[in-house]
Structures are given as C-alpha cells and as structure tokens.
Amino acid sequence: MGELKALENGFEYIEIINDAACAEIALQGAHVFHYARHTQEPLLWLSDESLFEKGTAIRGGIPICWPSFGMNNPKLPQHGFARIFLWDLVSVEEIDLKTTQVILSLKDDEKSRNFWNNAFDLELKITVSEQLTLELTTVNTDKKSYIITQALHSYFHISKIENIAIKGLDSKPYLDALTGNMQIQNGDIIFDQEIDRVYQEVDQSIYIKDQSRVIQIQNFGSSSSVVWNPWIDKCKRMSGMSDTAYTEFVCVESANAFDDFKKLEPGESHTLRAIIE
C-alpha cells in the first residue's frame, strides 16, 4: 500500500507498506529516507537532526546527486539541484503483496534552466520489496549533447564505524578526494580516519560487512562508486548531523563520477540502477 502524507509544515512524502518491507520517500528530491524489511533494522541511516524543509536537502537516506556530482560545475549547487527540487509523483503500483513500485519524474523548467540550461526528462523508479531497487533514467530532450555526472548517495545504517569492512573493491583504482591522488585499493576498506574516494572500474557487487549483517550493493549503468565517511573533525563541521554521527553510517554510492561521466546526445538516455539488500 502507498499513501501520500505530509508533515505539519506541508513537506510531502509517500509511505509504502507491503508484506515484505516499508519505505518513506520525499517528493522533494525523490528522496528515499527510510527502508526496512519487516522485523529488521533500517537499512538506511537518517540523521536525527535532518531538516524536513522545502529547499533544504535531507541528511541521510539516498539523496540524488544530479546533473553534477560534487562541485565539478561551479554554476550548480553542490551535488546539483535534483535533491532540492520538487518531483512529480507519476504512479504508485502494487506489483504483488511483497512488491510496490513508485515512479517520480522531474523535467526542465525555467527554474532548472537558471541553474543548468539544458532540456531533460528525469525519472526515478523505486521498487520496494525484499530488496530496494532504484533506477534513475536521464533522457536528453534537448537539441544539443551534454555531459552529466550523478550518484545515488546512499547512507547505510551500521552498528559502529569501526565494526565494518567494505569488500568488493580490492585492486580497484580510486581517486582520493582528500589528496587529489590516484591510488590502488589493497584489500578491504576499514575506517580509522576520514575517507572520501571515487573508485573506478567497478564491475562486481560491493559488500558492507557488519557485526550482525552484510549489505550487498549491485550497480548497473555504472563503473564508479564513492565510499565516504567524514570522521571526527569534518563531522563536527557539517550541518544536519550530530558530532558523533560519523560512527553510525557509511556512504557507498552508486555513481557515474570522475572518468565515468556520461555524455548524452539528443534523444539518448542513460539509466543508473542500484539493487540494495
């Protein structure tokens, strides 16, 4: 079942409950901010201090970074504008008792062209079942080609940062965003300091191994993935999270970033898909 709800301030979201799982999706940003299988802990982390206000990005869940990841376009806000724009709810469909599909869309208008002067049709298909699937499709409806970078900026709920290891990226090259250097991953990723890396040549599933569970992320239409945790000092400087929030989450982001950018000719489309379980 899917139900459109609103907070007291008018902030709208969709609540999904079926026989397999529950989820909550904000219309602003097409932002999945909660997902959990029944009887299990939430898969996604959401900051207790996150503001649910119009024009302000939610801290946690799965923000959509589009049409630019990071700050590689000085004309755009950090991570683009899709995560702070209001999307249209196209449909909520009950596929079966354990599967609900939600489709949201965003199209160019005067407001978007003030940021980024291109015509587009952006659609996010979210499938809530025993696994969570997100499919972000960009269609170039312009008369000229353009380049996009993007990410499904997933925050995963963990027991504690020192308890986890990221598997599946051994021997992969990565850009260390903290130093600007290219390096090669050696073994699993463990955390004892700030990490902000864009991995390339990603061609297999990524796993977050925690004390009591393993989270699997499968990416399609993507050969890059971002691994991030702000650690102590940066966490204290960041808005929308407590000083100790870094202990509670890790970001493993399905992306088209750095060398994995996408150039779309007029009429072309690209789909970035992530399956999380």
Active site residues: 153, 253
Q: How far apart are CA 192 and CA 232, in angstroms?
A: 10
Q: How far apart are CA 186 and CA 195, in angstroms?
A: 14
CA dist., res. 255 & res. 64, Å (int): 10
Strand partners, 93: 101
Matching residue, tokens 């260390």: 176
